Structures are given as C-alpha cells and as structure tokens.
Amino acid sequence: MNSIIRLDIFHFSLIYILLLIILAIMKKSKIKQSKLLLLASFRMTIQLVLAGLILTYIFGNPHPVFVVIYLISMIAFSVHRVLSKNKSINNKFKWAITLSLAFSGVFVLGYFVIVVVGKSFFNPQYTIPLAGMIIGNSMTGVTLGMKTFTENIKNQKNKIEALQNLGVTPRKILLPFVNNALETALLPTMNNMLGMGIISLPGMMTGQILSGTAPTTAIMYQIAIMIAICTAVCLTVFCSLTFGYKTLYNNRNQIEL
C-alpha cells in the first residue's frame, strides 16, 4: 500500500482558511463566539505541536519513566477538567471521581496493551496514543454523567426532601439518579458505535489507513478500541457515582445536598 503523504508547512497552513467559513457563518448568524473559535484553534495548535515534539522525543528515547509521567499528566489534567466543572461537590465525592478515573483508565488501558495487543505497558508507541483515547473519553463520560446527576438532583430537590420526610432511605432516593446519569453518559459512545462503518469512518481507523495499514487490521484495532473506550467510560462513571453518591448522606441517613 502507498505510504502517507507528508504535509509541508505551506499546504498544512491552507487548512486554516476553512476557519473563515465558520467565522462568516457566525457573523451572519449573530453568534458572538468568534474570539472563542480563534482562541480554541490557537490553543489546539500550540498544544498539539508541543505534544508532537514531546512524543517525538519519547518515541526516540523510550523509557518507562517517560510513559508513567505522561500518563500521570493525562490523568491529572482529566481530573482537573472534571472537578473544575463540579466545584460544589464535597471532597470525598471528588476523591471518588479522581480514583475512579485513574484506576478505570489504567486498568482498561493495561488490558488493551498487554492482553489484546501483546505489547509491554511501557511501550510509548501504543500506550500513550491509546491512553489519550481511553482517558479522554472517560473524562467526557464522567463530566456528562456528573452534569446529569447534579442537575437532576437540583431540579428535584423538593421531591427528595419529601421522600426523606416519608422515611425513604437515601440509597433508594439517590440510586435512580445514579442510574439515569450512567445511562446518559453511555449514550454518546453507544450511538457513536452504532454509526461506525456506515455513517462514519472513525479517526483511529482513518489514520491507520492513511498511514498505509491494511483496512482489515485498522478495522480490528478500531473495534477493539471502541469496546475499550465504552468499558472505560462505563467503569469510570459507575464507580464515580456509586462511591460518590454515598458521600451525600451521613450516618443518620440524612441527605446533605
């Protein structure tokens, strides 16, 4: 198969012209987010260029320490992003989210790299890119799950108080909110899986095909990574909410929202 065509700086820079289309539509639609679009594009470019330089060095000088540091950085940033959107929850709930995101991501990542691919966990070529997809999607899933959980509780605060007054246990009151939030968090990933191969060719598979990988190999990797992502999202959200909601009531079975 043909190898991937390398982009030079000039041809690569031409992609930014497409941003003018977005800006024109925003102006016509009176959407005042032009600065955000430009900032997001700039930050994305800088962050990815820096990531590319770092990964180039790591791939050229593979060492377990580099892989561990990169994974810790990924997890720390993911946790920060989730917690920054959930500042009102208590510290124990925050720890539940932190540990769930870290352990679920590392567990699924380790299983994928060691058992499915058959490589060392400290192989940066496999571990770091796969960690980005698994941990990144877990972050998105738990963010969506927490948003659903907290908003539903806030909107039904009167109902919760009424059930408490009737003597219903906190577990029976809060568990439906947990289950609903888990379902909401899983839906985007499952809907994405439903459309793959017919509606869209996913990024990992497209990238591998462009780099010259046989489509059958790319397909197997894509199926495997999507199942891994779905598992990681499910585990992260389930553990975060299951351990987290128990911090919302005390020993006297009083819910403290």
Instruction: Write the CA distances from 179 to 44, 91, 95, 103, integer angstroms.
Output: 34, 22, 20, 21
- For position 194, what pLDDT does the model report? 85
Residue 227 CA to residue 230 CA, distance in Å, equals 5
DSSP tally for the chain: helices H, then strands E: 10, 0
> Which residues fall within 8 angstroms of residue 116, CB to CB, at 6 or more apart?
224, 228
pLDDT, tens digit, 9 for 90 and up, residues 151-196:
999 999 888 888 888 888 889 999 999 999 999 999 999 988 887 7
- For position 75, what pLDDT does the model report? 96
- For position 93, what pLDDT does the model report? 95
Strands (E), 65-151: none
C-beta contacts of 107-112 below 8 A and 24+ residues apart: 107/235, 108/134, 108/228, 108/231, 108/232, 108/235, 109/134, 109/135, 109/228, 109/232, 111/228, 112/224, 112/225, 112/228
Q: Per-residue confidence of the chain (257 residues) as pLDDT tens digits? A: 555 667 788 888 899 999 999 999 988 888 888 899 999 999 999 999 998 899 999 989 989 999 999 999 999 999 999 999 998 899 999 999 999 999 999 999 999 999 999 999 999 989 999 999 999 999 999 999 999 999 999 999 888 888 888 888 889 999 999 999 999 999 999 988 887 777 666 666 666 766 667 778 878 888 888 899 999 999 999 999 999 999 988 877 777 76
Residue 61: DSSP 8-state? S
> Domain-by-domain residue ranges, the chain?
1-61, 64-248
- For position 218, what pLDDT does the model report? 78
Instruction: Write the CA distances from 15 to 5, 12, 19, 72, integer angstroms.
Output: 15, 6, 8, 32
